[in-house]
Structure 1
Amino acid sequence: MKRIFALLLAAVSLISLTACAQPEAKTASKYQLAAPQYPQMAPYPDETKFSRPNGDFDSDGFNQVYNAWQADRRKQTDQPEGYTDALDSYLRAVIPQLLTGGSGENKVCSPINIYMALAMLAEVTDSESREQILALLGSGDVNALRAEAAAVWNANYCDDGAVTSILANSLWLSDKISFKQEAMDALARYYYASSFRGEMGSAAFDKTLQDWIGQQTGGLLKEQASGLTMDKETILALASTIYFRAKWNGEFSEANTVPDTFHADSGDTTCDFMRQRGTNTYYWSDRFSAVSKPLE
């Protein structure tokens, strides 16, 4: 396990959860070795196109288009039965290691991003390292891992105008080492990953990495990405981002947001509280409490 997490030190895992502009599917660059093809999805139907001049709404016409859109979405998100079974042991092993020992600070992690980074690492390594990663991910061999990783990626992918949810992955290689194009093509096909090769530590290659992260996250991580650089000694780096955009099922009113006291482990602090009337599911435990708030 320690060896696996040491290998992860070469990986960059950046997370953006927000509502903003749609990211680019891929980055064109002279450094690029392979690029993924993201699935095409039917767009969410525009309700305004079904309003008649007299003010009536064409329900039959809208329902026909809506049903086609819904069927197309199910075709994308419905994956082989049991495809998440292999994730169970992985999640139980990884999440406690990532979320413990916070020294009083809140922690956040994206297990799926780390899963995809480890899966890509298994694809480009061999021998004992590959066997350890496969064991952690619950995969019998690389062929099984490819199918499982593709299912995980596709189940989380959506880009239909109503919801944007994109896992973007990439591999960055030093130009001082050789590579196999079939391996880069496999990364693009099964892990939907772009691959790049250039001079590690150069301003131009660092800028390509920063631009890729910015495009995949709608420009929301511009400040964080601008500080990312790669050392000249680096041979391989992995980057995995997640971009999510959706509307709340019920929007919060800004007029109902007021300062109040939050009781933290370190003491009371004043912060803004969003308030809303309604019924939501509430969870509580010895160490945390949470409320469920659905999205569209």
Structure 2
Amino acid sequence: MKTKWISVVLVVALTIGLWGVAGCKRHEKKKETQNPVSEENAGGVLLAKAGKPGEKGKQVTGDFTAAMAGGKMAKELLQTGLPGNRVYSPITLSMMMAMLTDASSGQARQEILKLMGWKSLEDVKKQVRSVYAAANRKTENGETRMANAIWLRDDESYHEEKIAELADDFFADSFSGKMGSAEYDKFHQTWLNEQTKDLLSDEVKKMNFIETQKIALSCAGYFRQQWPEKMDLIKKNFFWGRTGATMVDMLEKEDTMPLYRGENYKAVGLPFHNGFVFWLFLPDSEYSVEDVLVDNRYLSIMKGEIEPEDTDAKMVVRFPKFDITTSLDAAKGIANQSYLQIFDDRGAFRELTDGMMYVSSIQHATRILVDEYGATAASFAEAELDGAYMPEDTEYFICNRPFFYAIADENGMVYYEGIMQQGEKITDTEVKIRQPIVKVNGQIYVKTDEVAKVTCGTADGRIRWSGEPGKMPINDDSSNFGEGYRYQYADEYHLSVEIDGIWYAFERVSDISTLYYKTNEDEK
């Protein structure tokens, strides 16, 4: 059977701006130690390219994201008291707070350390190295990545040694340009879109620098993982949300798995490939999502610190298929948790410049898509229960009412958290492609499950461009799953492509219409 490919895609982009007052010093012209940007990205100069982490260092733990993923912060950022579906990224916000910790000094730095539960700046830097390595991994079944950047103005002087240190410790690209110019804005937006693979393009359009802005720090992440097996998709089920009942499509998984119990909720974890887990927290019928976030017990469940109520429960798990995008100013939620000088003290960032600066906002945008091919979801149809036989030893975990969800890695570090409080019928009729495909010399080849027989060690070419997952590649030497892969002709109808050190057989497709499907086509 050929491998099915469409999976979950989760993306987050965040940018914070540091603002100043009049009286800036002129920026001394720097030597060009790196290649400038290409003409297509004119408007800014790349001063230094991000480095790569060496050894991972100590094992990363969920402690890095604990403050941003904890119940108090989640309530603020998800606005659980209001109807609506929202999502945010604790790991992206935690990385941003780590950068601000290093950029600040004195009392301002100590306040951030206390809020985040971090011991010291040295400890933060060690954690960042491990987190960055853990968050940048790619396999045949999925990909996660994180990128940071520092945006400077070209008419300001900075403490260049500190800027270089910040870029090095956080594996950040550093750029310089004219703040408030259309060219620098376009350059900035292009970087964000490249890091998030255009999944937040509508939100990125709003990310413009103001003429008086001094510095911006950016962190962007991309996440895509597959389920080990395709989930069942059950159409037209009721979801009883805070604003009424809605017909939605459900995902379903029937299996034996651990079942966890909180004070007023139950929880299950659905595994992805590569160690990631999609967690579902379903409040008991008389309780709400806010009751899950009363304490941080749910974080302990994701970190493996709490034993399950039943280690081998026979489960039927169902929850809606969804696509949620959220934009917010995270600074407001963070400020409501603790007073931080960085939001109103213009002298908090003297490590970076002699000028006066403060954090005016932390713009945060996140999108999460969950379907039957990837993420943490289970298709379910409420209609299946009507008059059906229900075995007494089977636990039904039916998310047909508001619930809380999270994605964490094997160490409990939280990448995404969200709530679903009302049903949203997905009307997406976009035609997509399930399988990994490549386009070479005008022909389309689809991946099979067979390992190719490579005749020689010399490649005939390389996949140089990557299109959007689910789309047909446009250019020759391109694919819908990534770039950089070597290929070799096997015969007239077969191509061998090297993926993660293994050569896979790709078969030429004569009728490309067989590759497409409609994501929400009604069942006949």
- In structure 2, the partner of 1:227 is 206
Higher strand share: 2
Of 156, 171, 184 in structure 2, the residue corresponding to residue 205 of structure 1 is: 184
The 1:91–1:245 alpha-carbon spacing in structure 2 relative to 1, beyond 3 Å, is closer
The letter of the residue matching 2:152 is L
Alignment match, 1:250: 229
| Cα pair 1:87 1:138 within 8 Å, conserved | no
Q: 2:104 aligns with which of 113, 119, 125?
A: 125
1:90/1:136 contact within 8 Å kept: no
Distance 1:85 1:274, change over 3 A: closer
1:60 equivalent in structure 2: none
Deviation, 1:286, is 8.1
Higher-helix-fraction structure: 1
3-state SS of 1:196 partner: strand
For 1:89 and 1:224, the matched residues in 2 are separated by: 26
Q: What corresponds to 1:22 in structure 2?
A: none
The residue aligned with 1:273 is 250
Q: Which amino acid aligns with 2:183?
A: A
Cα 1:219–1:285 shift into 2, 3 Å: same
CA contact (8 A) 1:122 1:130 kept: yes
| Structure-1 residue corresponding to 2:158 | 179
- What does 1:276-291 correspond to in 2, within 5 Å? 276-280=253-257, 291=268
Q: Is 2:58 the partner of 1:80?
A: yes
Change (3 A) 1:282 1:176: farther
Q: 1:275 to 1:96 in 2, by over 3 A?
A: closer
One-letter amino acid of the structure 2 residue matched with residue 258 of structure 1? K
Q: Flag the 1:153–1:28 CA change in 2: closer, same or farther, 3 A.
A: farther
Evaluate the alpha carbon distance shift between residue 172 and residue 252 of structure 1 in structure 2; reply closer, same or farther with a 3 A threshold. same
The separation in 2 between residues aligned to 1:28 and 1:218, in whole angstroms, is 22
The question of whether the paired residues in 2 share the 8 Å contact of 1:34 and 1:184 is answered with no
C-alpha distance in structure 2 between counterparts of 1:85 and 1:285, whole Å = 20
User: CA shift at 1:86, angstroms?
Assistant: 5.8
Higher relative contact order (CA 8 A, sep 6+): 1
Shift of 1:135: 2.2
Classify the secondary structure of the residue corresponding to 1:248.
coil
User: Structure 1's 286 and 200: CA in aligned 2 closer, same or farther, altered over 3 A?
Assistant: farther
In structure 2, the partner of 1:47 is none
**Preserved contact between residue 145 and residue 222 of structure 2 (Cα < 8 Å):** yes
**Counterparts of 2:45 and 2:149, CA distance in 1:** 12
The counterpart of 1:31, out of the listed 37, 40, 45, is 45
1:34–1:195 contact (8 Å) kept in structure 2: yes
> Any gaps of 5 or more consecutive residues in structure 1?
1-7, 12-26, 41-74
- 2:215 paired with 1:262: no
Q: Distance in 2 between matches of 1:288 and 1:194?
A: 43
SS of 1:232 mapped into structure 2: coil
Residues 151, 89 of structure 1: CA spacing in aligned structure 2 closer, same or farther, 3 A cutoff? same
Determine the C-alpha separation between the residues in 2 that align with 1:289 and 1:108. 20
CA distance change for structure 1 residues 289 and 200 in 2, over 3 Å: closer, same or farther?
farther
In the superposition, the TM-score normalised over structure 2's length comes to 0.40
Find the aligned partners of 1:190 and 1:160 in 2 and give their Cα distance.
26
What displacement does 1:102 show?
4.6
The 2-side partners of 1:186 and 1:268 are apart by 53
Greater gyration radius: 2
Hey, what's the Cα distance between the residues in 2 that align with 1:86 and 1:247? 25
Segments of structure 2 that go 5 or more residues without pairing to the other structure are 1-14, 19-34, 38-43, 274-524
Percent identity over the alignment is 27
Query: Once the two structures are superposed, what CA deviation does each residue of 1:154-208 show, in whole Å capped at 9, x if it has no partner?
Result: 2322124443111212222223321233333323332122222211111111111
Counterpart of 1:10 in structure 2 is: 17
